[in-house]
Chain A
Amino acid sequence: QKEVEQDPGPLSVPEGAIVSLNCTYSNSAFQYFMWYRQYSRKGPELLMYTYSSGNKEDGRFTAQVDKSSKYISLFIRDSQPSDSATYLCAMRARTNTGNQFYFGTGTSLTVIP
């Protein structure tokens, strides 16, 4: 079983729609949760990170963490064509040898004008 599960999509929505992207995980040691956006042929770009359960908002983006369900979400409001990209969730666990990161496979999103 993978440490992090992410629906690969592809997801296609009309401009202005609310988008929900999700990841589930199995390791209760994960402490930090991150969302990255990756445009085609570019490196991942950090969008948001959260530490505790609850919501964190940044402009049109809201990151939500539910540690009891081991479930994280990224919501995009008023989606724009420029949001078309692959979105990667990532999680960090503290180990004896330091921090260890786990990434989802990414969800491909297309926002249609």
Chain B
Amino acid sequence: EADIYQTPRYLVIGTGKKITLECSQTMGHDKMYWYQQDPGMELHLIHYSYGVNSTEKGDLSSESTVSRIRTEHFPLTLESARPSHTSQYLCASSTRDITDTQYFGPGTRLTVL
């Protein structure tokens, strides 16, 4: 069973605030990902990391930033939240085996007023 955690689960915040969404995994996975999920839409990859000090932007343009200082921790930061950032944010990590299967956290539902 995957052990990947996200906090907070729900966040309602005003425009212009700086926020950090936390993601931690206890499986020792090198690869971690952040996705954005909106109703009726496919998951969009916004950031990924293949290991400590490695971060890349994904397919979907995002104003967020990420860091990977420790293997188990992959926080996502929005410097100035806007209503367009309202979405579900999913963190995932993947196995080292050939399948590279991704396991997801429970998600953070962000609402920016």
List residues of A whose CB falls within 8 A of some B CB. 2, 4, 8, 32, 34, 36, 41-46, 49, 51, 88, 90, 92, 98-99, 101-106
Contacts and interface: CB of A to CB of B under 8 A. Distances in A.
A105 B73 CA distance: 28
B32 interface: no
Contacts of A8: 40
Contacts of B21: none
Contacts of A88: 43
B101 A46 contact: yes
Nearest to B44: A103
7 contacts: A32-B101, A36-B104, A43-B4, A44-B90, A44-B104, A99-B100, A105-B40
Contacts of B41: 105
Contacts of A42: 106-107
Assign chain B's interface to a size class.
Answer: 20 to 34
Interface string B38-53: 0011110100001000
Contact of B42 (A32, A92, A98, A105): A105
B104 to A, nearest CB: 4
Nearest to B56: A97
Interface string B69-113: 000000000000000000000101000000111111111010000
Interface centre among A8, A41, A44, A105 (most CB of B within 10 A): A44
A43 B105 contact: yes
Contacts of A101: 45, 102
Contacts of A99: 100
A65 B60 CA distance: 28
B43 A103 contact: yes
B24 to A, nearest CB: 14
Contacts of A106: 40, 42
Contacts of B106: 42-43
